[in-house]
Amino acid sequence: MQACRLSASDLACRRGDRVLFHGLSLALAPGEALLVAGSNGIGKSSLIRILAGLLAPYAGSVERLGEAGLVDERPALDPHLPLAAALTFWARFDGARAADAARRLGLEPLGDVPVRFLSTGQKKRAALARLIGQSAPLWLLDEPLNGLDRDAAALVEALIAEHCTAGGIAVIASHQPIALPGADRIELAEFAA
User: What is the layout of strands, in order, in the sheet containing 59-65?
Assistant: 18-28, 5-15, 59-65
> Going by DSSP bridges, is the β-strand pair 5-15/18-28 parallel, antiparallel, or unpaired?
antiparallel
- Number of neighbours of residue 60 by Cβ within 10 angstroms: 16
Alpha carbon of 47 to those of 24, 56, 188: distances in Å?
10, 10, 9
The per-residue pLDDT for 46 is 95
Q: How confident is the model at residue 95 (pLDDT cuts 50, 70, 90)?
A: low
The whole-number pLDDT of residue 91 equals 78
- Tens digits of per-residue pLDDT, 111-164? 999 999 999 989 999 999 889 988 899 999 999 998 899 999 999 999 999 999
5 pLDDT band, cuts 50/70/90, is very high
Cα–Cα distance between 123 and 117 in angstroms, integer?
9
The mean pLDDT of the chain is 91
Strand order of the sheet with strand 138-142?
68-71, 138-142, 169-173, 33-37, 184-187
The per-residue pLDDT for 144 is 93
Give domain limits for the chain: 1-67+136-193, 78-134
pLDDT at 39: 87
CA distance 17 to 34: 28
Asked whether the whole model's pTM tops 0.95, one would answer: no
Ranges of beta strands (E only) in 29-182 are 33-37, 59-65, 68-71, 138-142, 169-173
Highest mean pLDDT among 40-44, 58-62, 71-75, 93-97: 58-62
In the CATH scheme, what architecture does the domain 1-67+136-193 have? 3-Layer(aba) Sandwich (3.40)
HSE-CB at 12 with a 13 A cutoff on CA atoms is 10
- Rounded to an integer, the average pLDDT of 45-70 is 95
Half-sphere exposure of 188 (CA within 13 A, CB side): 24
Task: Report which of 170, 158, 167, 165 is spatially closest to residue 52, judged by C-alpha positions.
Answer: 170
